[in-house]
Chains A and B, each alone.
Chain A
């Protein structure tokens, strides 16, 4: 369906590609990168950030799904 979330079968939020849950998860994921970067003195790549989040049990399942999809879509370097 056209108005489905890019990550699940739920309907999209208005003016967004994602459902409510994934929209919030993505916003959190993007917003927290700045905090992680500061915590590690500016030395943390996005890949490292994602892989650390994937290894933590505190990370939400919706966030992990976003990261997994992101990693699958990335062309291996």
Chain B
């Protein structure tokens, strides 16, 4: 009997593939070197294994120093040799290599996109001894049994090499950018300040950070200008309604004051009544970025969180593959079958019943994706209790899917023109005439309605209130994770799979803080340096050109090797310049690094005994860290508090609710962060009740 080895991207997907091909509960779980495989027999012996995302990564050739730059020679290596903390991947590669020796045929069943194609390709090429050349490809958009069986029956004869090569190229180009520019910054700073701080930038990271920094500069240099609006209330047959002055912004205060004087308490006449109706189209099916944007709008989920929840729902067979740019739903996905499945869930029963009574034609958007349709529910009911977050996102996806099949909604907009002396005021109203798709989208459809009073031309209305309100022009809004992702998408930088992760990296590196993004001084400094010494690296045009080249590789009209060589040619003079100006770059970074370092070791609460600054100090002899008073040499203060010795320490901007002392957070690898109060710890250890924190003098309020 022939043996087939199928490679999937994640362990959950491996189980679904095995069950689909061998029948539910027929998949035998076997363990090779502690790595799970699934075995089924279906006329042939099928072994299904999974990767753990990428098992191979780009790394410098040889084993050179990790601080040296520029580096141009790279190769694909097992991830545990390329990056730290990837020991699990080593075990996985060994197990796959061992099992691959039994296989006669190979199939790549990773997700059908650039990353999935690349993961499968590298596993088959490197772990399965060059099996990429004879391997076949499964193409599917959901992990439902029906689709997986069909995909296996109709496997593509070869791997999707252009997609895999485009993926390789992206990783190689990003590695060349990231490793060289980040090392140039980090090493320059290290040499000048003698302090190590990871300063990263990259092909997409640089321009993305620049968006935020430029916005922050606009906000910081913003000077508002005044204008005035009129808040007006009129009495219409005993009912008080709001009216607006015909000009929304009055630029000169005295003009506003004379209008108030002219119209206050006066009787006006309804001069004209206008009414218009217009249609509101149903929403288009979800592509990934619209899904992320709606998830942020309704639930406040960051794009990365929304994607990770969507991926869990996909692995649970509840929705289709979420990393898609498509806003299309082809009939082949089986609209009726999906609706019937959804009708099993009580919340959707009435909506589905209404839709099934008519023709099922989705209102599609323009975007297409050759690999996958838009995100849609599979119609499968959840087999486990979904977490509240999963439940919310699933509900959003289902209701969006249902709403795309809804009828047009019709809205009526009314406007009454009221003349008071020589001044014109407007009373507006709007209402939904036909609800169409709106109820199908449930709480996510936010259509404002405003009741319009009954009026006819010639009616008299009295101005009962008119107030001049001071207003000021507003600075541009700060980006949030969702709007920044949209900006990246519109500028054509990054991919749907990488954008959310890049935004998270900017937070991790200390370049951004808060949900409404504020660029930190470090972000300003890094962006200014990059703009000064290698401006093109921070510009959108260059990275967009590279994206286009990578698309050409996908289409087979460009070669990966050439794009990588072009990148090296582009980067060489930039790196030479940075290397030559290492001292200048380092000096420009030094003050900000020192400031950050001081901030990271200085507590905002003063010493409770002498009022001096408290700092985290390391004993030079024992190497142990503790909180000590910086007034030791001036006031002979001996105040100190112990600190946990293991894990990364962060001073939080919060106070202890019991004693008011500054809280600290300790984070150890693989453990949840621990927040504690050193002062309460000491008091409790000494079996004393914590007393409120009260410094004796020089206390700063914070």
Contact = CB atoms under 8 A, between A and B. Distances in A.
Contact of A24 (B217, B254, B474, B588): B217
Interface in B236-267: 251-254
Contacts of B473: 58
Nearest to B474: A58
A40 B475 contact: no
Contact of B217 (A20, A36, A40): A20
Contacts of B254: 41
Contacts of B354: none
Interface in B200-252: 217, 219-227, 251-252
Contact of B253 (A9, A10, A40): A40
B221 A63 contact: yes
A32 B221 contact: no
A56 B223 CA distance: 10
Interface string B577-594: 000000000001001000
B472 interface: yes
Given A58-B472, A58-B475, A28 B252 contact: no
Interface in B448-487: 472-475
A41 B253 CA distance: 7
A28 B221 contact: yes
| Residues of B in contact with A, size category | 20 to 34
Interface in A53-77: 53, 56, 58-63
B220 A53 contact: no
Contacts of A32: 223-225
B224 A56 contact: yes
> Interface SS of chain A: helix, strand, loop or mixed?
helix
Contact of A62 (B221, B226, B227, B591): B221
Contact of B528 (A10, A39, A56): A10
A34 to B, nearest CB: 10
A11 B473 CA distance: 30
B223 A28 contact: yes
A32 B473 CA distance: 12
A68 to B, nearest CB: 14
A60 B222 contact: yes
Interface string A4-48: 000001110000000011101100110110011011110000000
B528 A60 contact: no
Nearest to A58: B224
Nearest to A38: B252
Nearest to B252: A39
A10 B528 CA distance: 10
Contacts of B591: 9
B91 to A, nearest CB: 50
A20 B220 CA distance: 12
B223 A59 contact: yes
A35 B249 CA distance: 14
Contact of A53 (B219, B223, B474, B475): B223
Interface in B646-694: none
Contacts of B588: 11
A24 B221 contact: yes
Nearest to B256: A39
B251 A38 contact: yes
A38 B474 CA distance: 19
A60 B253 contact: no
Contacts of A39: 225-227, 251-253
Contacts of A62: 220-221
Nearest to B592: A9
A50 to B, nearest CB: 11
Contact of A61 (B220, B226, B528): B220
A63 to B, nearest CB: 6
Ranked nearest first, the 7 interchain pairs of A and B with the lowest CB-CB distance are A25-B221, A58-B224, A60-B222, A62-B220, A60-B220, A32-B223, A28-B223
24 contacts: A9-B591, A20-B217, A21-B220, A22-B221, A24-B217, A25-B220, A25-B221, A25-B223, A35-B225, A38-B251, A39-B226, A40-B226, A40-B253, A41-B254, A53-B223, A56-B472, A58-B222, A58-B474, A60-B222, A60-B223, A60-B475, A61-B220, A62-B221, A63-B220
Interface of A: 9-11, 20-22, 24-25, 28-29, 31-32, 35-36, 38-41, 53, 56, 58-63
Interface of B: 217, 219-227, 251-254, 472-475, 528, 588, 591
Given A25-B220, A38-B252, A41-B254, 6 more contacts: A28-B221, A28-B223, A53-B223, A58-B474, A60-B221, A62-B220
